[in-house]
């Protein structure tokens, strides 16, 4: 009687063995993860309620299996059993585990890694662009302004963690875009620039730096910089370049100056002033007479900028659904192999 009861419950205890083996394999990675597993859709785990019904059905089927009455059944029961007699029970174990893993996969498991502090490199940076009438000169193809815009747009497209703003200036200075990480908006604004949008009869370098500093005044970045691109000398504004430079030193803002153009006829330039502004603030001065030199200037500025280290605390998630789904499909395939091939019954 005891042997018959044990035989009837074979699907249950073999299923438990299969589940224990799977647990020994799957649990260690969970336990080694300091934050464990997160489920996006945990309600799918209610599907596990079908597993006891599957086991109950397997036990009922075991009880209903036909038996042959024979005088030697007692002796035959003592004979060793072949591995095929255990296949239905093992199949039940694989099938129930596969169903459990399928519902676990539907619950969207994610490995949640420990919250850590990571360092990302970034700079708060203002691009300050001269929009005076002389920027229409064609000594740089297609003209100074369009060449400057192209190089700026390429520079922006290569940024990832820098907050970048833009200031334009002519007779006065104006904020085109405040500091932002939305590079698409910033690029669109710069691409749409054309001469004449502001008064372009003079060049107010001091005001331009002043407005740029106002954008950086409340910045808490470790590194702050202004890239000032102009083609002429300062001849307008109510803030002198020297005053603006002193303000920049107080705020610890580096000024990188670029004098663009190769044809200086018709308007004055003052390279010495741009050199002074750069040196006093810890920046650098560049002269660009063509687009290649202009692009090279931006590249050198990028390498020279001291990177700001910004702490970023957060939890990271990695999808784990795939491995459980793959294991479930593998178990289903093995179950079909056992039932349809190895334990196949031939009438």
Confidence of residue 121 (pLDDT cuts 50, 70, 90): low
Q: Residues 21-30: pLDDT tens digits? A: 666 555 555 4
Sequence-ordered alpha helix ranges (H) in the chain = 2-8, 10-32, 50-64, 73-78, 87-106, 144-157, 183-191, 205-216, 241-250, 271-281, 291-304, 321-337
**Looking at the DSSP assignment, which residues form a beta bridge with residue 127?**
166, 227
Closest CA to 189 of 161, 156, 163, 213: 156
Closest CA to 230 of 133, 325, 114, 97: 133
Chain center to CA of 136: 40
The CATH number of 119-309 is 3.40.50.410
Q: What percent of the chain has pLDDT over 90?
A: 43
pTM for this structure? 0.57
Q: Is the pLDDT of residue 271 over 90?
A: yes
Cis peptide before 266 (omega within 30 of 0): no
Q: Residues 279-300: pLDDT tens digits? A: 999 999 999 999 999 999 999 9
Chain center to CA of 251: 32
Q: CA angle, 174 as apex, 171 and 180 as ends, to 5°?
A: 150
Could you give the C-alpha distances from 110 to 79, 99, 191, 304, 313, in angstroms and in order?
Answer: 50, 19, 42, 41, 19
Domain boundaries, the chain: 2-113+318-342, 119-309
Q: Is the pLDDT of residue 86 over 60?
A: yes
Confidence of residue 322 (pLDDT cuts 50, 70, 90): confident
Q: How far apart are CA 274 and CA 243, in angstroms?
A: 13
Confidence of residue 98 (pLDDT cuts 50, 70, 90): confident
Q: Is the pLDDT of residue 85 over 70?
A: no
Q: Is the pLDDT of residue 238 over 90?
A: yes
């Amino acid at each position: 009687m005891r042997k018959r009861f044990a035989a009837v419950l074979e699907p249950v205890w073999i299923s438990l063995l299969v589940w224990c083996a799977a647990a020994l394999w799957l649990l260690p990675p969970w336990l080694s993860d300091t934050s464990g597993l997160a489920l996006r859709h945990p309600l799918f785990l209610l599907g596990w309620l079908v597993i006891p019904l599957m086991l109950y059905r397997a036990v009922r089927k075991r009880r209903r299996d036909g038996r042959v009455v024979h005088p030697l059944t007692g002796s035959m029961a003592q004979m060793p059993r072949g591995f095929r007699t255990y296949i239905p029970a093992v199949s039940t174990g694989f099938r129930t585990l596969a169903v459990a893993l399928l519902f676990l996969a539907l619950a969207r498991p994610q490995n949640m890694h420990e919250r850590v502090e990571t360092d990302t490199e970034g700079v708060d940076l203002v691009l300050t662009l001269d929009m005076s009438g002389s920027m229409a000169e064609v000594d740089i193809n297609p003209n100074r302004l369009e060449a400057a815009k192209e190089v700026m747009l390429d520079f922006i497209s290569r940024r990832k963690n820098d907050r970048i703003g833009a200031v334009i200036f002519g007779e006065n200075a104006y904020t085109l875009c405040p500091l932002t990480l939305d590079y698409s908006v910033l690029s669109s604004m710069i691409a749409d620039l054309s001469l004449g949008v502001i008064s372009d009869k003079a060049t107010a370098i001091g005001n331009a730096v002043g407005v740029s500093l106002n954008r950086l005044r409340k910045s808490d970045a470790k590194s702050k910089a202004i890239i000032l691109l102009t083609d002429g000398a300062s001849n307008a504004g109510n803030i002198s370049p020297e005053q603006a430079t002193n303000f920049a030193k107080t705020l610890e803002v580096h000024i990188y100056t670029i004098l663009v153009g190769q044809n200086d006829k018709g308007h004055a330039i003052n390279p010495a002033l741009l050199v002074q502004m750069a040196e006093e603030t810890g920046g650098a001065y560049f002269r660009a007479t063509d687009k290649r030199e202009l692009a090279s200037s931006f590249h050198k500025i990028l390498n020279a900028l001291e990177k700001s280290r910004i702490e970023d605390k957060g939890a990271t998630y990695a999808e784990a659904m795939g491995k459980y789904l793959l294991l479930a499909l593998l178990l289903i395939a093995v179950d079909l192999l056992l039932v349809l091939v190895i334990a196949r019954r031939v009438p």
